[in-house]
Amino acid sequence: MKVRNFFLLAAGILLLTVISGKDADAKAKKAKTLPTEVTISKQVLQDKIRGAWAGQVIGCTYGGPTEFKFSNFIPDQYPIDWNEHIVKWWYEHSPGLYDDVYMDLTFVEVFDREGLDAPVESFAKAFAYAGYPLWHANLQARYNILQGIMPPESGHWKNNAHADDIDFQIEADYAGIMAPGMVNSAVKYTDEIGHIMNYGDGWYGGVYVAAMYALAFVSDDIPFIVKEALKTIPAQSKYYKCMADVIKWWEKYPDDWHLTWALANEKYGYDIGCPSGFNSAFNIDAVINSAYILIGLLYGNGNFYRTIDISTRCGYDSDCNPASAGGILGTVLGFNKIPAYWKTPIYEVEDMDFKYTDISLNRACKMSLKQALQVIEQGGGNVEGPTVTIKVQKPQAVRLEQSYDGYWPVAKYDIKKTPWQMGEYAFTGKGAILTYHFTLPKNYNVKDYQARVEVWVDGSLYKTVLLPSAGNGQSREICGIWDLPLGNHKVAVKWTNKPDDINMVVDCINIFSDKPAPVKHVDK
């Protein structure tokens, strides 16, 4: 009996092994992988490109009324309007809303004019001399370029305090749209342009968005797209860790985006770079805003409304985030499959030029299709005839770079004094950022005056800067002060060419040390 039982047990183990082996094989077969090539009609390609641009416009319009009005998530009970004429209303009454789009189009137009190998100087100058107003990393990059600091230095965190801000993330759509299925090609077209205004996590925001767009042409599986695209980001970076956590939390809590939102904010919702964001409810950091794109895509589950609504209701930059989420899902669906409720307002504006450009939505689609065909061919694909064959690329991680490496903001103090009232300001740390503003007489329009300001640190001249008093070439910071030995320092600001009719106020100082300041929590 013992021998018989032994053989029965052995047979059972063998059978279980065979079954489990078959299960493993079946799971392996079901595992998602990128195809080596994809063939689609040019008509489908064009429809996906149109879906990308239209989805971006729809998402931006939907979130527009809520932008930076909420530092918390926006409750479901808060109404967000939508109607068949709403896009045209924004075009005509508040066209600056679409900076997500017309910033992209600056780069699309340079590619159209100078080809795929256009030098970064062409993009930098087109961006710097454009007529549109700018903010944060873009604003400082324009200032840097006009002062002769060209990319990549114009986006480096030591020259641009906003290097980790959202700016390139909202204008990198062009790179994914022009490289369907070719994720590494898309990333290549983010490198030089992305470093015009950003660095580190700020650049990664654009890399990740572009990668998701590229993969959205060859997959309709949102979780697969976001996971594959994340392979373009170095795993050691803060940006990667945040996106990986959002994906993990979505898998653990698939029915509660609010919980994932809370976990992301608890762990990653602290802005250390942007002078306006540090120690405030304002957060324009690329990491947390990218998380909101991802939350919308994952919890939206392919539903257009849920995707842009959740990305919007996550808060902060709540027009840009649904614009990116809507554009990526619009690429997956194609314009024809975007629900009529959402795309009907597009028909009224598709031939209207975006503000500050001579490019309409329809023209943008044609330019992107032309560029996509060129990139497909350059990538070894075939574009002859009514179809295109795309050589799909497996994502590769870009290099690691992190802003503020070895620095941490420990204090933010109001100064609110003119340079001579300020005198020598004492601080303890290893770096600082000084912000300022001009006080100008009514109807002031002298655009060619630049204040010559000397920044003195510990009795020595640290830097001389020129600060335009008006026009598009201004900065919001006097400068960043870096590479000081950790310890006590004094900073002074000297204005050497002050005219009689304007004044300058040094607003505040952000002080950096090598680690966070200790916080004593008293339990009483």
Whole-number pLDDT of residue 280: 83
Whole-number pLDDT of residue 520: 86
Kindly tell me if the per-residue pLDDT of 181 is higher than 90.
yes
Kindly tell me if the per-residue pLDDT of 204 is higher than 90.
yes
Domains of the chain and any CATH numbers: 37-391 (1.10.4080.10), 408-513 (2.60.120.260)
CB 490 within 8 A of CB 424: yes
Q: How confident is the model at residue 12 (pLDDT cuts 50, 70, 90)?
A: very low
pLDDT digits (tens, 9 = 90+) for 207-263: 999 999 999 999 999 999 999 999 999 999 999 999 999 999 999 999 999 999 999
- Helix axis angle, 183-197 to 136-146, nearest 10°: 70
Mean pLDDT within 324-353: 98
* Dihedral sign (CA 290, 260, 232, 228): negative
What value does the CA radius of gyration of the chain take, rounded to a whole number of Å? 26
Mean pLDDT within 194-219: 98
Whole-number pLDDT of residue 473: 92
Kindly tell me if the per-residue pLDDT of 26 is higher than 70.
no
pLDDT digits (tens, 9 = 90+) for 73-117: 999 999 999 999 999 999 999 999 999 899 999 999 999 999 999
Query: Which residues on neighbouring strands pair with residue 412, listed in sequence order?
Result: 510
Whole-number pLDDT of residue 36: 96
The whole-angstrom distance between residue 161's C-alpha and the CA centroid of its chain comes to 15
Whole-number pLDDT of residue 448: 84
pLDDT digits (tens, 9 = 90+) for 458-481: 999 999 999 999 888 999 999 999
CB 165 within 8 A of CB 284: yes
**What CA–CA distance (Å, rounded) separates 75 from 313?**
7
- Could you count the other beta carbons within 10 Å of the beta carbon of residue 506? 22
- Could you count the other beta carbons within 10 Å of the beta carbon of residue 504? 21
CB 197 within 8 A of CB 155: yes
Using DSSP, state whether 272 is helix, strand or coil: coil
Whole-number pLDDT of residue 445: 76
- Could you count the other beta carbons within 10 Å of the beta carbon of residue 97? 22
Mean pLDDT within 356-372: 98
Query: Between vectors from CA 198 to CA 196 and to CA 204, what angle results, nearest 5°?
Result: 120
**What CA–CA distance (Å, rounded) separates 360 from 188?**
26
CB 279 within 8 A of CB 35: no
**What CA–CA distance (Å, rounded) separates 390 from 38?**
5
Residue written as token pair 């027009």: 319
pLDDT digits (tens, 9 = 90+) for 134-156: 999 999 999 999 999 999 999 99
- In terms of pLDDT, which residue wins out, 214 or 442? 214
pTM for this predicted structure:
0.93
Whole-number pLDDT of residue 3: 39
The whole-angstrom distance between residue 99's C-alpha and the CA centroid of its chain comes to 13
- Which helix H or strand E contains 455, and what residues bound it? strand 450-457
Mean pLDDT within 329-335: 98
Whole-number pLDDT of residue 218: 98
Kindly tell me if the per-residue pLDDT of 14 is higher than 50.
no
Lowest average pLDDT, out of 8-12, 342-346, 370-374, 420-424, goes to 8-12
Whole-number pLDDT of residue 52: 98
Structure letter (DSSP) for residue 228:
H
Kindly tell me if the per-residue pLDDT of 512 is higher than 60.
yes
- Helix axis angle, 201-216 to 42-63, nearest 10°: 130
Q: How high does pLDDT run on average in the chain?
A: 93
Whole-number pLDDT of residue 31: 58
- In terms of pLDDT, which residue wins out, 442 or 380? 380
Helix-, strand-, coil-residue percentages of the chain, each rounded to 5: 50, 15, 35
Mean pLDDT within 23-45: 75
Whole-number pLDDT of residue 264: 97
Using DSSP, state whether 70 is helix, strand or coil: coil
